Structure 1
Amino acid sequence: MKSILQSKEMSIVAIVVLLSITLSFVSPAFLTFENIFDILKGNAVLGILAVGMTLVIITGGIDVSVAAVTTAVCVMAGKFLTVLPDSPISILLLFIVAPLIGVLLGALNGILVSKIQIPAIVVTLGTMSMINGIILYLTNGTYLNSTSFPKIFVDFANFQIFGVSVIVFIFAIIAVGTWYILKYTVIGREVLAVGGNKESSIRAGINFDKVQIFVYGYMGLLAGIAAIAQLSYTKAVDPNGLLGFELQVIAAVVLGGANILGGRGSIMGTFLGVLLLGIMQNGLILARIDIFWQKVVVGTIILIAVSYDQIQYKRSKDKLAKIEVEA
């Protein structure tokens, strides 16, 4: 019980509760059922991508191409929807084609990182630039709205279960499913082992290249699903809509307690990081704070949270080293 109360996740829960209470005084509309689920719906795409980024960061990698991949899948899926019939089969095909495109683009990153051994930041910066350039060339920045989509997709995007958007349920299923993969599957344990100590895991017989390709491929898979969520939320395709969004994804994961250098991270922590980021942004909007100052406030809080986490982590490592020396 003591270890649970002292965990990083509990400190984030405490911040979320404190921030929520404060914002409820600023705006009575904050702690309403509609607003809370609007926050979850509005940040579902961020959450889906952050879950995938968690696995990448645990292994010591980074993927700054995630927003570009999601946008690419959005564009291709949007074009695909315009030629599909107004039938339930269209939704099924969309959930097959979009993740498949994402997996292919993500696996490309994984192959370059693992087989050619190019640093992840270099690979994903390169693919991000290439994908963004190709998207803008092919679309010319053209905005595609829902009038071109089958009616059944629009109905799916508006579908609710017990008053909660289907997009929120997609996020929840992915978060729980990824938690299960990390905790109970062989590949999940290998991801954690590689993140904990790369050299030791390789000596233990873990295929490092396979793990790398898996995490980037899985990131691509979730980017494909996030693209569907984005299309459902905006009911449109905007080639510039997610520009710079990768920074928010990484921020959410780091806010959730993941170590940007690898070896530490959890799905629960990431979920709380997404929630914290969403609450901050929503609260600042309700407080009618200018959008420019919103960015300053959010950025400052992120820096403080990450700095505090790193200081606490270093203190715990120093304490452990001191105990080992005295022993």
Structure 2
Amino acid sequence: MKAFLKSKEMSVAVIILLLCIILAFISPVFLTADNLLDVVKGNAVLGILAIGMTLVIITGGIDVSVAAVTSAVCVVLGKTMMFLPDSPLTIVLIFVIAPLFGVLLGSINGILVAKIQIPAIVVTLGMMSIINGLVLYITNGQYLNSSNFPTVFLKFSNFSVFGISIIIWLFIITAALTWYILKYTLIGREVMAIGGNKESAVRVGINYSKVQIFVFSYMGFLAGIAAIAQTSYTKAVDPNGMLGLELMVIAAVVLGGANIMGGRGTIFGTILGVLLLGIIQNGLILAKIDTFWQKVFTGAIILIAVSYDHIQYKRSQKQLSKIEVEA
């Protein structure tokens, strides 16, 4: 309990609480149930992608192609739905097609990183450029709107359980599934072991390549789920709608306590990071801050968070070195 109270997650939770109190004074609308649900719903796609990015960052990698992969899956979904029947089977097919296509793209990243040993940042930057170019070529930069989608999908998009949107439920289920994988499965323990100490993990028999392919493929899988949530939320496909989202995804994970150098990260922390970014953005809108200043403010928070995390990491490494010398 003491460790949790001193953790970075607890610090983020306190910041969120203080922000909520301040924003409640600025705008009485902020603490209403509808507004809070809108904050979560509006950031569900960010949250789903951040959950996947947590695993990648824990292993010491990074994936800047997540937004591009999600956009590609959105385009595939939009094009596919033009030919799908207006029946419940369509929803089933969507939940098969989108994750599978995401896994395909994610596994390419994983294979290049694990087998050819190209740095993750280089691989995913290249994939981001390739995918964005292909998406613009296929769509000519044009929207695919809801007039092309089956009615059953539009009904699904508006579906709620206990008054909570299906989009929020996708986020909740994704978080619960990933938490379970990290805590109770062999591959989850291997992800944590690789992040903690790659050399030691390989020495005890953990297959480094398998873990790398898994985390990038799982990132692709969640990009597929995020694409369903995004298409459901906007009821359209915008080829340029997710440009730059990868930075927010990485920021949410780091704000939630993950170490950008690898070895540390939790699903709960990532959820808090997503909520913090969502609340800040919502608060700036309610405070009627100009859109440009919203971007400046959010960017500054991201920079400060990553810088602080890196400084703390360097301090911990120096302290560890000092202990080893004294021993």
**TM-score of the pair, normalised by structure 1:** 0.97
Mapped to 2, the partners of 1:138 and 1:312 lie a distance apart of 45
Mapped to 2, the partners of 1:313 and 1:115 lie a distance apart of 29
Match of 2:175 in 1: 175
Residue 2 of structure 1, CA deviation? 1.4
Residue 56 of structure 1, CA deviation? 0.5
Match of 1:152 in 2: 152
Match of 1:199 in 2: 199
RMSD, aligned CA? 1.2
Residue 83 of structure 1, CA deviation? 0.9
Match of 2:227 in 1: 227
Within the alignment, does 1:57 sit opposite 2:57 as a pair? yes
Residue 163 of structure 1, CA deviation? 1.5
Match of 2:100 in 1: 100
**Greater Cα shift, 154-163 or 299-308:** 299-308
One-letter amino acid matched to 1:108: I
Q: Rate the CA distance shift 1:146–1:111 in 2: closer, same or farther, 3 A.
A: same
**Contact 2:260–2:309 under 8 Å retained in 1:** no
Match of 1:294 in 2: 294
Match of 1:34 in 2: 34
Mapping for residues 230-245 of structure 1, pairs under 5 Å: 230-245=230-245
Residue 299 of structure 1, CA deviation? 1.6
Mapped to 2, the partners of 1:279 and 1:309 lie a distance apart of 21
SS of 2:263's partner is coil
Residue 164 of structure 1, CA deviation? 1.1
Aligned identity (percent) is: 72
Match of 1:285 in 2: 285
Mapped to 2, the partners of 1:212 and 1:305 lie a distance apart of 26
Residue 132 of structure 1, CA deviation? 0.8
Mapped to 2, the partners of 1:146 and 1:192 lie a distance apart of 42
Residue 322 of structure 1, CA deviation? 4.1
- Cα deviation 1:54-108 (Å, max 9, x = unaligned): 1011111111111111000000011111111111000000000110000000000
Mapped to 2, the partners of 1:24 and 1:183 lie a distance apart of 36
- Cα deviation 1:285-313 (Å, max 9, x = unaligned): 00000011011111222223333334444
Mapped to 2, the partners of 1:253 and 1:146 lie a distance apart of 32
Mapped to 2, the partners of 1:309 and 1:110 lie a distance apart of 26
Mapped to 1, the partners of 2:68 and 2:298 lie a distance apart of 23
Match of 2:128 in 1: 128
**Greater Cα shift, 82-91 or 316-325:** 316-325
**Greater Cα shift, 295-304 or 147-156:** 295-304
Mapped to 1, the partners of 2:95 and 2:63 lie a distance apart of 23
Match of 1:9 in 2: 9
Residue 325 of structure 1, CA deviation? 4.3
One-letter amino acid matched to 1:79: K
**Contact 2:251–2:306 under 8 Å retained in 1:** no
Mapped to 1, the partners of 2:319 and 2:113 lie a distance apart of 35
One-letter amino acid matched to 2:108: L
Match of 1:261 in 2: 261
Residue 14 of structure 1, CA deviation? 0.4
Match of 1:109 in 2: 109
**Contact 2:257–2:270 under 8 Å retained in 1:** yes
One-letter amino acid matched to 2:140: N
One-letter amino acid matched to 1:19: L
Match of 2:76 in 1: 76
Mapped to 1, the partners of 2:70 and 2:312 lie a distance apart of 34
- Structure 1 moving runs of 4+ over 6 Å: none
Q: Rate the CA distance shift 1:131–1:298 in 2: closer, same or farther, 3 A.
A: same
**TM-score of the pair, normalised by structure 2:** 0.97
Q: Rate the CA distance shift 1:312–1:122 in 2: closer, same or farther, 3 A.
A: closer
Mapped to 1, the partners of 2:28 and 2:288 lie a distance apart of 13
Residue 321 of structure 1, CA deviation? 4.4
Within the alignment, does 1:212 sit opposite 2:212 as a pair? yes
Mapped to 2, the partners of 1:319 and 1:123 lie a distance apart of 33
Gaps of 5+ in 1: none
Mapped to 1, the partners of 2:28 and 2:185 lie a distance apart of 44
Mapped to 1, the partners of 2:324 and 2:61 lie a distance apart of 30
